[in-house]
Structure formats: structure tokens, C-alpha cells
């Protein structure tokens, strides 16, 4: 059977899964296409959940990933509200919570990640994770000027939530294991700039700390006891301590799992089975075993997977990219900023608060990342330099 006529089953209909479906159709795929998702909402975009949707600037209709017309145009079967529970690798079949058995000639796993929780914090009122539209809507309802929010986890999500909430007039404390917010993603210099932005917005910063326990009374959270001994009063707590790939349902599937579904450089997890997006740990030809949790990778990796399903695959070797919007600044990183990176400002300047910098590794002096700080146009221009440098180096 020709590749374009194969039946394809995509487990997970969010950014990555939907992008695979669209790319398949664009590539001439004519076979049956089935998408299945545990969510009951039509597919939506996640980045706005910690920004415009949380602040209330947008309502839920604005985060839809595709219009109904665009979804119909896929000519696929979209099964919502049914969670995949078991995969038979050899038989290429998936069993769902409702008891459906779906078989296909090719399966794409795009089940994403689930947020990590603080142990013992289920069912405590006022404790939130933020992954879904429902989480964001609930949290939005709770955040009012003057209320006290403690964010546990000072990575990208925690930092964004802190920034968004402080602009809503909430009294915010941002706590976490990193010394300064987003230090692992930004490097120490940029991370200290971000810390200054947070402080200027009135956010209390607590780095190098973990949570000892939550202070709970009558089933509601009242405070967060940090490992430093301090106890921060809280009306609400957002737990942003990272996510784990949603692979529990695959534990006896036969797929290799190791902080994600393990794949080769073509994103193949097993014969006729691919993984894509947040859940996929693939072999990046230059960077080795890698799992990227960001929006851009969902779309880009989907193109690679669709191409491979259609028989035109190539090793997937993107330059990782993510962005975050905090305090009116668009912060962008192309590539990966190593902890000991040297930053050279190429546009703007740090004192004016807007700049672009190229990060080089001390040993090789080779550009490995571009950091954009409130200068999206110039950042885009510098990204091209990174690509040239990398292709020359390789």
C-alpha cells in the first residue's frame, strides 16, 4: 500500500497532533485519519493560558487552535473526551477508556505532558496546576487585586504566571529551586535581569528553596512553608515544578520510555509508530537525546513526522526555540544558552532594557544561542547568523 493511503491514528489532538494531521493532508495523504484526545474542548493553544487567558485579556474562544471549518477540512475523525489507555506496538492498536479499539497502519503519539504536583496536595482548595484551559479559567477566577499568590517553581511557567498575576494586581511571591528565575534557560546574567523585572513589579523572589509543606486549614491552603524556614501566606498556590511526559498509559506497550518516548532521529519509536511534541524524546543529530517542551517544537517536529510517514523523512535537527512574554517584554531564545555562556550584545543595550545578545561557549567562541530581550525584529535577524555559524561549524 502506498504511504499516502495508509490509515493513520494520532493519539493527542493538541498542537503537535493536529499539526501532523494537517501536514499529512498537505503532503497528499488520502488515507483515513483519526485523532483522539482525552480533552472535551476543541483543540486549543496552550501558551496563552499563562498569559492572555489568565489575565482575562482574551476569552476562551480566542485560544482555539483551529476554526471548526479548518477542522472539518481535514476530513478526519476527531474523537474527543476519550482517553487512550493501552497501545499494542506490534498490532498497532490502541484501546481507549470507553472501550474503543482503534487500529491503524501508522500511529503517532502526541499525548504531551502532565504537570507534576506537590505530593499530598490533591484536593486542597487553592492549589493549582496550569496545563489545561479549565485550570487557567479556574485560576483566573481566583486572582483578584490584593490576593496573595505563591508560585512554586521558578522556571518558564512559574515566571510567566508570576508576571501575569502581578500585572493583575495580585500580591505575588515566586519561589523555586533555581537561584534566579529561569536561570537554566537564560543563563545567570539574563536571569538576573529577569529577577530585576520581577522585583520592579513588586514580586517577592525566593530562590534556592523547595517547599517543605503547605499550610492547610479546613481543606484550603493558607500558606507555603519553604525549606529556608520561611512561611509565606497564600490565598492561592500555583505549582509550576515541571511536567512529566504522559507515558503512563504506555508502560506495558513495548515502547522504550525514558522521560518521554524514546525515538530515533526520525522520531520513530517503533516500526510504524512515531512520537511528536512534548512527549517525544528523540535523537537530535547534533544535540543527542533531547525532549523539548515548547510550542514551536510541536509544529516543527510535526512536519518532520508527517514527512517521514509519507516516505520523505529526514533526521529532525531543529535549532531549539522558545519565547516568553513577561512584563511587556518578549524574551526569545534560539538555541540553548549554556550555564557558562558569554553574552555579547549585538543590538540595543542592556541599560535601556531592550537588547539582543549572542551567547558563545567560552572554550570555542562559537555562537550557540541568540537571546532576544524586547527586540523581536532584531532577534529574528540575528537568528540567521546562528544558522550560518552552526552550519559552518557542522
Partner 1 sequence: MLKVILEQDKCVASGQCVTAAETVFDQRDEDGIAVLLEEHPSPEVEAEVRQAAAVCPVLAIHVTTDN
Q: Where along the sequence are the contacts to partner 1 (CB under 8 A)?
A: 15, 19, 22-23, 26, 45, 47, 65-66, 70, 73, 295-296, 299, 303, 321, 323, 325, 330, 376-377, 379-380
Three cell numbers written together for 266: 526520525
Q: Which is nearer to partner 1, 42 or 210 (CB)?
A: 42
Mode of pairing for the β-strands spanning 33-37 and 77-80? parallel
Query: Sign of the C-alpha dihedral, residues 350, 355, 361, 365?
Result: negative
User: Minimum distance between the CB of residue 144 and partner 1, rounded to whole angstroms?
Assistant: 26
Q: Which is nearer to partner 1, 47 or 260 (CB)?
A: 47
Contact of 152 with 226, CB cutoff 8 Å: no
User: Minimum distance between the CB of residue 175 and partner 1, rounded to whole angstroms?
Assistant: 27
Contact of 248 with 84, CB cutoff 8 Å: no
Cα–Cα distance measured from residue 262 to residue 260, given in angstroms and rounded to the nearest whole number = 6
Maximum distance among all Cα pairs of the chain, rounded to whole angstroms: 65
Q: Which is nearer to partner 1, 189 or 373 (CB)?
A: 373
User: Minimum distance between the CB of residue 375 and partner 1, rounded to whole angstroms?
Assistant: 10
User: Minimum distance between the CB of residue 318 and partner 1, rounded to whole angstroms?
Assistant: 11
Cα–Cα distance measured from residue 184 to residue 369, given in angstroms and rounded to the nearest whole number = 13
Q: Which is nearer to partner 1, 22 or 37 (CB)?
A: 22
User: Minimum distance between the CB of residue 47 and partner 1, rounded to whole angstroms?
Assistant: 7
Q: Give residues with Cβ within 8 angstroms of 286, minimum separation 6.
A: 317, 390, 394
Q: Which is nearer to partner 1, 172 or 299 (CB)?
A: 299
3-state secondary structure of 373: strand
Q: Which is nearer to partner 1, 67 or 248 (CB)?
A: 67
Contact of 159 with 324, CB cutoff 8 Å: yes
Amino acid at each position: 500500500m502506498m504511504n499516502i493511503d495508509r490509515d493513520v491514528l494520532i493519539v493527542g489532538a493538541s498542537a503537535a497532533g493536529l499539526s501532523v494531521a494537517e501536514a499529512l493532508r498537505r503532503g497528499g495523504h488520502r488515507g483515513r485519519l483519526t485523532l483522539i484526545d482525552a480533552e472535551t474542548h476543541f483543540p486549543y493553544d496552550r501558551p496563552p493560558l499563562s498569559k492572555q487567558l489568565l489575565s482575562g485579556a482574551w476569552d476562551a474562544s480566542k485560544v482555539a487552535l483551529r476554526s471548526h471549518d479548518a477542522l472539518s477540512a481535514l476530513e478526519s475523525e476527531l474523537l474527543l473526551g476519550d482517553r487512550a489507555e493501552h497501545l499494542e506496538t506490534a498490532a498497532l492498536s490502541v484501546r481507549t477508556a470507553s472501550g474503543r479499539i482503534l487500529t491503524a497502519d501508522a500511529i503517532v503519539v502526541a499525548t504531551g505532558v502532565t504537570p507534576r504536583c506537590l505530593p499530598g496536595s490533591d484536593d486542597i482548595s487553592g492549589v493549582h496546576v496550569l496545563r489545561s484551559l479549565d485550570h487557567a479559567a479556574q485560576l483566573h477566577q481566583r486572582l483578584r487585586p490584593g490576593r496573595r499568590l505563591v508560585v512554586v517553581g521558578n522556571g518558564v511557567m512559574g515566571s510567566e504566571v508570576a508576571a501575569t498575576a502581578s500585572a493583575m494586581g495580585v500580591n505575588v511571591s515566586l519561589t523555586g529551586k533555581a537561584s534566579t528565575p529561569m536561570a537554566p534557560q537564560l543563563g545567570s546574567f539574563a536571569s538576573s535581569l529577569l529577577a530585576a523585572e520581577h522585583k520592579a513589579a513588586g514580586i517577592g523572589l525566593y530562590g534556592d528553596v523547595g517547599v517543605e509543606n503547605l499550610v492547610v486549614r479546613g481543606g484550603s491552603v493558607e500558606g507555603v512553608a519553604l525549606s529556608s524556614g520561611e512561611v509565606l501566606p497564600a490565598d492561592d498556590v500555583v505549582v509550576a515544578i515541571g511536567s512529566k511526559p504522559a507515558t503512563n498509559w504506555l508502560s506495558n506497550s513495548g515502547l522504550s520510555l525514558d522521560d518521554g518516548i524514546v525515538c530515533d532521529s526520525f522520531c520513530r519509536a517503533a516500526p510504524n509508530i512515531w512520537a511528536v511534541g512534548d512527549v517525544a524524546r528523540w535523537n537530535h543529530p547534533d544535540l543527542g537525546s533531547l525532549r523539548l517542551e515548547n510550542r514551536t517544537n510541536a509544529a516543527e517536529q510535526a512536519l518532520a513526522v508527517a514527512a517521514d510517514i509519507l516516505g520523505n523523512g529526514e533526521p529532525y535537527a531543529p535549532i531549539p526555540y522558545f519565547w516568553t512574554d513577561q512584563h511587556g517584554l518578549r524574551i526569545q531564545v534560539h538555541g540553548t544558552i549554556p550555564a557558562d555562556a558569554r553574552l555579547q550584545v549585538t543590538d540595543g543595550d542592556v541599560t535601556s532594557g531592550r537588547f539582543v545578545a549572542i551567547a558563545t561557549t567560552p572554550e570555542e567562541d562559537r555562537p550557540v544561542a541568540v537571546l532576544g530581550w524586547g527586540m523581536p525584529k532584531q532577534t529574528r535577524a540575528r537568528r540567521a547568523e546562528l544558522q550560518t555559524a552552526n552550519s559552518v561549524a557542522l
